[in-house]
């Protein structure tokens, strides 16, 4: 779906499909260099990170393994509760593996803070984070992400996997939602 398909529900487009693709290509080259000669396991957090995972994994010019985990910290709300629950756990054992968490967005950082300590307890050889978006002004905990696509203002965004009440995930761009949609 394109921004014009839901124009009245969006305030403005923040990042176009082409801008996202270009940035992921640059990040993919960095990941290839950083993990040269080492195995790599990408872990995406469902559902928001599906588009980043699909595009980043295909951009990589090497073989990787992928696995998915679902955690929940949001209802149909626009603010993080900080309460995280595993909805679907990983299939792959992380012991001795080089793990890269692929995330859609670091907002408060509470979800990734929890996820990072959960995954570290499974003894991976290394654990890093790749997040497409980060809202620096929303941070409640400091998350050390090795790869960040874009820093964005502290506004609620949708598209490219990100939802509001499960909608707009299939929008090709990333856009600021019009306040009338959630107020
Ligand atoms: P946290 O606040 O960093 O814990 O973010 C938790 C999750 O909330 C993210 O992984 C997203 O799925 C979701 N989220 C945070 N900010 C936004 C947003 O602006 N739009 C849509 N989802 C968001
Ligand atoms: Mg998410």
Q: What is the mean pLDDT of the chain?
A: 94
Q: 């929940």: which residue's tokens?
A: 72
Ligand 1 center to residue 8 CA distance, Å?
23
The CB of 109 under 6 Å from ligand 1? The reply is: yes
Q: Over the stretch 121-167, which tens digit does the pLDDT of each residue have? A: 999 999 999 999 999 999 999 999 999 999 999 999 999 999 999 99
28, containing H or E segment: helix 17-34
Q: Tell me the whole-structure pTM to 2 decimals.
A: 0.94
Q: Over the stretch 12-53, which tens digit does the pLDDT of each residue have? A: 999 999 999 999 999 999 999 999 999 999 999 899 999 999
**Residue count (the chain):** 183
Ligand 1 center to residue 94 CA distance, Å?
25
Average pLDDT over residues 44-69: 97
- What does the DSSP 8-state code read for residue 90? -
Question: φ and ψ at 31, to 5 degrees?
Answer: -65, -45
């Amino acid at each position: 779906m394109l921004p014009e398909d839901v124009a009245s529900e969006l305030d403005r487009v923040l990042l176009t499909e082409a801008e996202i693709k270009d940035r992921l290509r640059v990040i993919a080259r960095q990941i290839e260099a950083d993990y040269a000669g080492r195995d790599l396991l990408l872990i995406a957090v469902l559902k928001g990170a599906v588009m980043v995972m699909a595009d980043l994994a295909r951009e990589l010019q090497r073989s990787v393994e992928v696995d998915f985990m679902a955690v929940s910290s949001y209802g149909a709300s626009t603010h993080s509760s900080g309460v995280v629950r595993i909805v679907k756990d990983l299939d792959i054992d992380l012991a001795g593996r080089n793990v890269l968490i692929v995330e859609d967005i670091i907002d408060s950082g509470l979800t990734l803070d929890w996820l990072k300590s959960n995954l570290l307890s499974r003894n991976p050889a290394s654990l890093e984070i790749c997040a497409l978006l980060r809202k620096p002004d929303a941070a409640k905990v400091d998350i050390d992400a090795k790869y960040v696509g874009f820093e964005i203002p502290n506004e609620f965004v949708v598209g490219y996997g990100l939802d509001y009440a499960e909608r707009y995930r299939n929008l090709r761009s990333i856009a600021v939602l019009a306040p009338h949609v959630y107020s």
